[in-house]
Amino acid sequence: MSVRVGILGATGAVGQRFIQLLQNHPTFNLVAVTASESSVGKRYHDAAKWRIETPIPEEIGSMVVTETTPEALPSNVDLLFSSLPSSVAAEVEPDFLEAGYVISSNSSNDRMASDIPLTIPEINPGHLKLIEQQRINRGWDGALVKNPNCSTITMMPTLAALQELEIDSVHVSTLQAVSGAGYSGVTSMEIIDNAIPHIGGEENKMESESRKILGSFTGANVELHSMDVIASCNRIPTLDGHLENVFVETSQSVSTDEAADAMQSYSGTSLYSSPEQLINVFDDPIRPQPRLDRARGDGMQISVGGIQQTATGIKYNCLAHNTIRGAAGASLLNAELLVDAGWV
């Protein structure tokens, strides 16, 4: 099966990751790229300030960038990826949905809307059924699915693996890479020899999105998980890879071996972009580290280390590649789920 896809916001950091990940994909064939007005009409290789470690695929570099409107797209597009800034996505995504397009979006707008699936396919694929309610509520012919924030995605598979222990609360402190802010989000003078102990909006996203992802689908909406989530988000001078210190309080006692086994054995999916082993657990207490471990599983694996028992549960460190697993790769995985479930 060949699915023709387009990227909304193709020249930015996440848009470039989409292009990298779509190269040689067995299902998706990239046929359209859109961007802001300043890029429209240019060849992609002239419009994008390419920062990915692999070259621009030749056939993509020669593509002409179009406007981000339904009218500008080729008529044969089956599915869209959105990496638009949330303020822009909130305005234009509905236009594409009303026109009948299916969108797998990394943009943060509407993630907590009651009829929008916020999915990580290895954790809550059943939430995709919210699309039925979405179409009733909004009158869209298309469909919209969101992936969570990059910092939320890093932590969530580990919490899903521990769910049987009845999680009461989670405290998390993040050490987030500069690529999470986009190319112009953090200047070198701000971040070199420094750490920034606040990232606007990140804490609220982690605290709310986590509860939706682990929530229960009722048939018409998602009842949020009862756990308390408290987050502190910090920017550090690494290029890629979000490292997080997680403290979980559980109703049931848990040993370090039990926690490690639960995470190591947590199953992924059969989807193409899901790694064979979703979570890798290190015995070495000084792992994971961003430079050494962010690319594991082609950037789609979660790494865990430093598991220790506490008086009320366990604590550990986890890591994921923020622009692959935490952004473009997450949307790609959701698109594969949409195809698998028959929405495309």
Q: Catalytic residue positions?
A: 150, 242
* Residue carrying the six token digits 């920034």: 196
User: How far, in whole angstroms, is CA 100 from its chain's centroid?
Assistant: 23
Strands 222-223, 216-217: pairing is antiparallel
- State how far the Cα of 214 lies from the Cα of 71, in Å rounded to an integer: 38
Rounded to a whole number, what is the distance in angstroms from the first to the last CA of the chain? 11
Residue in this structure with the two tokens 């026109």, named with its chain if needed: 99
Burial call 159-169: b when 16+ CB within 10 Å, e when fewer: bbbbeebebee
Task: State how beta strands 313-320 and 242-250 pair.
Answer: antiparallel
Backbone angles phi, psi at 319, to 5 degrees: -145, 140
Name the DSSP letter for residue 308: E
Q: Round to whole Å and give the CA distance between 342 and 147.
A: 18
Is residue 336 within 8 A of residue 310, CB to CB? The reply is no
**Residues 6+ away with beta carbon under 8 Å from 148:** 111, 118, 120, 156, 205, 209, 210, 213, 330
Q: How far apart are CA 255 and CA 253, in angstroms?
A: 7
Alpha carbons within 13 A on the beta-carbon side of 96: 31
Question: Which spans in 69-147 are helix H?
Answer: 86-98, 130-138
Q: Does residue 275 have a cis bond before it (omega within 30 degrees)?
A: no
Q: Is 16 helix (H, G, I), strand (E, B) or coil?
A: helix
